[in-house]
Amino acid sequence: MNLRRPSFLSRNGLLICGVAIVATVSLLSILAPLFAPFSPTAIDTKAILLPPGPDHWFGTDTLGRDLLSRMLYGGRVSLWVGFVAVGISTAIGLALGLIAGYFGRLADEIIMRGVDIMLCFPSFFLILAVIAFLEPNMMNIMIIIGLTSWMGVARLVRAETLTLRERVFVLSARVAGAGPLRIITRHILPNALAPVLVSATLGVAGAILVESSLSFLGLGVQPPDPSWGNMLTDGKEVLGIAPWLSIFPGLAILITVLGYNLLGEGLRDLLDPRLR
């Protein structure tokens, strides 16, 4: 009997859908100056609360600003916050997880107890507490999200390192005289990156949600700069007469977060041989 192997498309449908969504959102956001029909901060008192139409595809807000233009520029903010915040958290978690997993003993005890303490506090409320003492702007948001979301990466990398340090190739390198730094960077780190990549992809979705929530509460990106979160804040005031002000930014958040979650799940299926 001739059994055909499943095609790449059928085996990696989640990955392809995730890549398509993420690539589309990223392209539209990065090239916002080319796609946006108006300036995101241009006020037009003659076009206040216009519904979606040929002149303004997504309608206008309470100041007559074009909603489509603001969404495109707001996407740049969300993606920038997501990437930078996840970059910070991944770097911290990767370093601490490798140290804890490889050296063990006192280093492992100190780092893991620090992780346990950080996990005792709900992340979002911890971020709110820190924001209360700082100026709410995009740079502070990125740093705070990054500094409060590294614990999961640290635990994941530690677990991988505990397994890898007992492998034959690591023991051979140790017998050959390789030092801890060389073993960690040349042998353990490359083999521990696959789950970290999946975690980072899912982390971008989480960071976008946190930034949108903070902006919705008025503690994130400040007007007149557009953010999907503060656009939802503007929309809730006139939800009964201008629902498009809430629908379109909400859909943008939903689709973007869904895209990164699909991408993360697809990468996990692709990189984990146990799931093949």
Give the pTM. 0.87
Return the structure tokens found at 275.
């799931």
Share of the chain above pLDDT 90, in %: 35
What span, in angstroms and rounded, lies between the C-alpha atoms of 244 and 168? 60
Indicate whether 19 pLDDT > 60: yes
What span, in angstroms and rounded, lies between the C-alpha atoms of 214 and 87? 19
Domain segments of the chain: what residues? 10-26+56-271
Indicate whether 1 pLDDT > 50: no
Per-residue pLDDT reduced to its tens digit, 219-234: 888 888 888 988 998 8
Q: Nearest Cα to 237, choosing from 48, 37, 36, 41? A: 48
Q: Nearest Cα to 257, choosing from 212, 216, 215? A: 212
Return the structure tokens found at 209.
């949600």
pLDDT of residue 191: 87
What span, in angstroms and rounded, lies between the C-alpha atoms of 145 and 85? 6
Give residue 171's identity as a one-letter amino acid code.
L
CATH fold for the domain made of 10-26+56-271: MetI-like fold (1.10.3720)
On average, the pLDDT of the chain sits at 86
Q: Nearest Cα to 127, choosing from 142, 145, 139? A: 145
Per-residue pLDDT reduced to its tens digit, 124-178: 888 888 877 877 778 888 888 998 889 999 999 999 999 888 888 888 888 888 8
